[in-house]
Amino acid sequence: MASKKNININLKIWRQKNAKAKGSMETYKLDNVSTDSSFLEMLDQLNEELINKQIEPVAFDHDCREGICGMCSLYINGRAHGPDTGITTCQLHMRMFNDGDTIFVEPWRSKAFPVIKDLVVDRTSFERIQQAGGFVSVNTSGNTIDANATPVPKHDADKAFEAAACIGCGACVATCKNGSAMLFVGAKVSQYALLPQGKVEATQRVLNMVRQMDEEGFGNCTNTGACEIECPKGISLENIARMNREFLKASLK
Amino acid sequence: MAKSALLKSSIAKKYWMALTGLFLCLFLAGHLAGNLQLIFGTASQFNQYALFMTSNPAVKLLSYLTYFSILFHAIDGIMLTVQNKKARPVAYAMNNPSNNSTLASRNMAVLGTLILVFIVTHMVNFWAVMHFDKNMPLVSREVSEMGMSQKVAVGVLGSQAPYFPLDAKGKLNAEVIRRNELTQKTVTTVVDKDGYVVFEGQKDLHKITFDFFQDPKTGLIATILYVLAMAVLAFHLLHGFQSAFQSLGVNNKFTPAIKSFGTLFAIIVPLLFAIIPVYIHFVK
Ligand code: HEM
Ligand code: SF4
Ligand code: FES
């Protein structure tokens, strides 16, 4: 990647005025894109051109632009977060593309993630799942116990930490042929189920989170494993299995 | 809450898919062991096995469990698939799923539906014949008397007339059928007008099977379709076997072994099933 070069690309981007409007794929030509730029910078460049031409810029989600907030989404050339593994869209670089490429850019497609505008989707369904049980109740009235005062086995701590790496981006849902959110929910359930502090509310947590997940209209996991491969944080299918175990335990109680 | 969750929740539906699916895998292993007698056993061994399978009470119970599992698995599977389609109302204009999942894993419902079509056809061809066909060939033997050779049905122990004349095709003589009543159970029972049991003969499923795959007109196509159906089953199991363990929450140090065993099972079992009609059609 030593040679700095610019490429010309064709973009096919989903445009949709608002949540109610019927959208469509629109084609844009964009010249002189530096291969050193990130995918989002490329979209910034496109938007600048559009604004100069008095065309409404393309709306897309982003915040940290360093792979930790989970805001950026985008289904690029048929893959969540585009043609690279272990990254978010803000970490995708234009050097992954060639001169003359046609690049499809679409929003996450899921009943539970309705499109608000263009490439922006509403992911508050994830928040409602979290609110249904993705927390530990702590007494904060001045006598909070320091978390480190409770010993946690190293193995469990590591597994919980891996699960907690989930940034709630929704790539798992977007890539799953069933629009299933089980990798996300599995990670959130596991993160607490593995820790002593989380065991107290374990039964209600898994039942409530799964119920909320179903109510939001996410599909059912068929273990294709697509989510695990597209997840920017490498969340493992083990977490879904753990959620399935937790759910069975809780249902039988 | 907890109780209804075990029926309605997305995860519970997966448990049922997995449990019925794994039970059907056990059924396949048992069924295969029986079928292999078509190659390695004698005709009478195979017919003895067929009689056992249709009369033993424990086997009866297992067979009801199997019918139930197939129905439940198919209905649950189709319901899940319909729900999953609804979870993505707008399709992607460009999608590249082969980057992250196998073809079989993405087409379980199509593969399953094809298996269901096969199961129904299979039951019409063999199971229904065995259970309901009044004119089914009976286990028979050639007897020579005074230089005349004749095909006779062999009666089961204790029947009134141990031998019964058959026509050239090995089936009960049309005249016999007209004159007497036939009751249908695991054996063909011929009853005369006064309700007196004249003859009890064992059905010849071995002959039915061989005739089916050796039929000069339809035997070849039947063999080919059977082999294709087994290929479909192989793909279903290639994903399904290991998937069932994940659904049940088993993902641990045994998972690599489960995956390897599942792959072997998914290839070997359908392959052995498929060899049988090929052997009957081409070798016998
Ligand atoms: C002998 C016949 C069959 C066997 C041994 C079998 C076995 C299995 C197994 C082990 C699974 C994996 C379950 C899981 O992932 O939890 C599965 C999944 C599936 N089967 Fe079957 N199956 C059979 C017939 C059928 C039939 C007749 C259908 C009918 C439509 C069907 C539809 C499905 C579907 C849609 C799935 C995926 C569902 C999911 O993963 O949630 N299968 N099967
Ligand atoms: S599990 Fe992975 S893909 Fe799914 S929301 Fe979390 S970080 Fe994103
Ligand atoms: S913008 Fe924060 S992860 Fe991409």
Whether residue B95 is contained in a domain is answered as: no
Whether residue B94 is contained in a domain is answered as: no
ipTM of the complex: 0.92
Whether residue B267 is contained in a domain is answered as: yes
Confidence of residue B4 (pLDDT cuts 50, 70, 90): low
Q: What is the pLDDT of residues A180-199, one digit of tens each?
A: 999 999 999 999 999 999 99
Q: Are residues B40 and B109 in the same domain?
A: yes
Pick the CATH number of A124-252 from 1.10.287.70, 1.10.1060.10, 3.30.70.990, 3.30.70.100: 1.10.1060.10
Instruction: Indicate if the pLDDT at residue B170 is higher than 50.
Output: yes
Q: What is the pLDDT of residues B84-134, one digit of tens each?
A: 999 999 999 999 999 999 999 999 999 999 999 999 999 999 988 888 877
Q: What is the pLDDT of residues A53-81, one digit of tens each?
A: 999 999 999 999 999 999 999 999 999 99
Q: Are residues B156 and B128 in the same domain?
A: no
Whether residue B92 is contained in a domain is answered as: no
Strand ranges in B39-173 using DSSP code E only, listed in sequence order: 140-145, 148-154, 163-165
pTM score: 0.91
Which range in A3-17, A103-117, B144-158, B175-189 is most confidently predicted, on average pLDDT?
A103-117
What value does the mean pLDDT take over residues B60-69? 95
A interface mutation test: which of B76, B94, B108, B254 has the most A CBs within 10 A?
A: B94
User: Which domain does B111 fall in, by range?
Assistant: 2-87+101-134+208-283
What value does the mean pLDDT take over residues B172-192? 79
Q: Are residues B144 and B178 in the same domain?
A: yes
State the pLDDT at residue B140: 84
Domain borders along chain A are: 6-116, 124-252
Q: Greater confidence, A139 or A34?
A: A34
Percent of the residues in chain A that have a pLDDT greater than 90, as a whole number: 92
What value does the mean pLDDT take over residues A25-33? 97
Q: Which ligand has the nearest atom to the CA of A89?
A: 3
Q: Which tokens belong to A65?
A: 């632009």
Helix (H, G, I), strand (E, B) or coil at A122: coil
Q: Are residues B106 and B38 in the same domain?
A: yes
A6-116 CATH fold: Ubiquitin-like (UB roll) (3.10.20)
Q: Are residues B217 and B119 in the same domain?
A: yes
Instruction: Indicate if the pLDDT at residue B158 is higher than 70.
Output: no
Q: Which tokens belong to B284?
A: 């016998």
Q: Is the CB of A184 under 6 A from ligand 2?
A: yes
Whether residue B93 is contained in a domain is answered as: no
| Secondary structure of A102-114 as H, E, C letters | EEEEECCCECCEC
B192 to each of B120, B167, B183, B184, B200, how far by Cα in Å?
35, 19, 11, 14, 12
Q: Is the CB of A232 under 6 A from ligand 2?
A: yes
Choose the residue to mutate in B20, B80, B232, B243 for probing ligand 1, maximizing ligand atoms within 8 Å of C-beta: B243
Q: Are residues B81 and B193 in the same domain?
A: no
User: Residue holding tokens 């989404």?
Assistant: A73
Q: Are residues B129 and B248 in the same domain?
A: yes
Of the residues B182, B202, B222, the one at which a domain ends: B202
State the pLDDT at residue B1: 43
Whether residue B96 is contained in a domain is answered as: no
Q: Is the CB of A213 under 6 A from ligand 2?
A: no
Confidence of residue B137 (pLDDT cuts 50, 70, 90): confident
Nearest by CB to A210, which of B10, B15, B100? B10
**How many domains would you assign to chain B?**
2
Q: Is the CB of A240 under 6 A from ligand 3?
A: no
Contacts of B86 in chain A (CB under 8 A): 111, 217, 219
What value does the mean pLDDT take over residues B180-188? 76
Q: Greater confidence, A209 or B190?
A: A209
A159/B198 Cα distance (integer angstroms): 74
State the pLDDT at residue A2: 47
